[in-house]
Amino acid sequence: MTLQLTVITLLVVMLIALWRACIGPNVFDRVLAANLFGTKTVLLIAAISYLHGSPDFLDIALVYALINYISVVGVLRITELRNEHAPGDRRG
């Protein structure tokens, strides 16, 4: 029963993250939302694999846990590069 509750909570949190990703306001909110979405997906897949009783799904959660953070590092590098290109541009 609590497992179902956890799945529902995860879906609600994903909805909130998606809402934040849609309204912004600045681009880092969207990155944060995508990142939050990623960790919630890890949890959702883990929880669903227990609902199903098929532990194969955990491999997918493991992939996410490993590569979720690459795109955040990518964003960091890109903001740095933009600063080098245009030091005057200080909008978010």
Region 7-26 residues binding another protein, contact defined as CB under 8 A: 7, 9-22, 24, 26
45 φψ region: left (φ > 0), alpha (ψ -120 to 50), beta (else): alpha
Question: Minimum CB separation from another protein for residue 88, in Å?
Answer: 10
Of 52-81, binders to another protein (CB under 8 A) are 52, 54-81
Question: Minimum CB separation from another protein for residue 91, in Å?
Answer: 7
Spatial contact of 30 and 67, defined as CB atoms under 8 Å apart: no
Question: Minimum CB separation from another protein for residue 79, in Å?
Answer: 4
Spatial contact of 66 and 89, defined as CB atoms under 8 Å apart: no
